[in-house]
Amino acid sequence: MNNKIPVAILGATGPVGQKAITLLASHPLFYVAEVAASEGSAGQTYGERVQWRNEIPLPENVAKMTIKPLLGVTSKFIISALPTEIALTTEPELAKKGHIVCSNAAAFRMHAEVPLLIPEVNLSHLSLLSKQNWTGKILTNPNCSTVFLAGALAPLLALGSFEHINVVTLQAISGAGYPGVPSFDILGNIIPHIGGEEDKIRLETKRILGTAENPLQCGITVHVHRVPVLHGHTVAAHVHFSKPVTADDVTQCFNVIAEKDPNFIKLHTAHDRPQPLRDLDPHDMRIHVGRIKQGDSPNTIGFISMGHNLVRGAAGAAIAVLDAYVAKFGA
Ligand code: NAP
């Protein structure tokens, strides 16, 4: 472990923090050196304080760690899994002190100088870091549904420009943190509202597929839903291209990426896949696409994109951003 890079996890007791801990337990480059959470948790042993809700057992070395206050961490590299309102003040404080903060929170995703990254899609946005005045840096990963929309749309830009995209999401309850949505509200039910989510998906997707200064010029209309699924967000998208595009063109496009990078895109051809329950594993970084079909116009294509909201949609995404940072700038 000594030749690996130490990482501190902020918000370590929440679902995203827990997933970061299990992902880093087998990471070739990084290891969990410190865990931090609220003042109420600081000073307690992680294993005693946490309500562990991960399929993978809590690593013993992390269970024994004493939880630190947020500003008490010393590792250069930080994964922040804090609520947005706490991230807003804490992340710049840590960047001022020289830390490299990769954040899951929405606080700085749309900041003009902060990269919002899917490394396989817009690595060039790392250049925004040179504009930051903090001694350290802040980098962000997208909202947990944005990543499944923007990640699937990115290869399709090679087929032509988009005129409009209609999106419907079906989002798992683990996306709402723990304990999250009351069981009275979600069991046997669908809630057609998640505060602020539709604007995040719309604006973040345009920024990722364009640039911070010049977002993608295309309308995106989004309806979000919370559904009684534990893990796994599903996104149904109808893309209206500026010229005719066939379902075969789109399938071929996903196929090329899936063969090149199977850890990024997984293409499903069965008529009833992808499904969260059948197709996700606990450390799944893949964006699962399927149900590709021609719409009711030669310019319209429909498809489904699905993935693990706590992995590719949160903790795994932040680790991938950290990986990309170290690959470019070193540790
Ligand atoms: P969360 O409920 O947003 O955050 C829980 C963590 O934040 C706990 O460790 C908690 O510590 C800590 N915390 C809460 N209030 C605090 C305070 N006042 N000061 C310091 N720490 C505080 O859980 P989450 O679902 O894991 O989400 C973390 C972040 O990732 C959020 O910004 C969320 O929007 C974002 N995100 C989540 C998902 C997802 O699928 N869940 C996906 C993408 C992005 P204590 O245990 O001590 O209270």
pLDDT in tens, 17-66: 999 999 999 999 999 999 999 999 999 999 999 999 999 999 999 999 99
Q: What is the pLDDT of residues 172-228, one digit of tens each?
A: 999 999 999 999 999 999 999 999 999 999 999 999 999 999 999 999 999 999 999
pLDDT at residue 2 in the model: 67
Domain 5-143+314-329, CATH class in plain words: alpha beta
Q: Where are the domains of the chain?
A: 5-143+314-329, 144-308
CA of 36 to the centre of ligand 1 (A): 11
Packing angle, helices 197-209 and 146-156, rounded to 10: 30
Judged by DSSP in three states, 261 sits in coil
The reply to whether ligand 1 has any atom less than 6 angstroms from the CB of 44 is no
Tell me if 67 sits within 8 A of 18, measured CB to CB: no
Q: Backbone phi, then psi, for 60, in 5-degree steps?
A: -60, -40
Domain 144-308, CATH class in plain words: alpha beta
Asked if 5-143+314-329 and 144-308 have one fold, the answer is no
The reply to whether ligand 1 has any atom less than 6 angstroms from the CB of 16 is yes
Q: What is the dihedral of CA 232, 238, 244, 246, to 10 degrees?
A: 40
The reply to whether ligand 1 has any atom less than 6 angstroms from the CB of 14 is yes
pLDDT at residue 1 in the model: 53
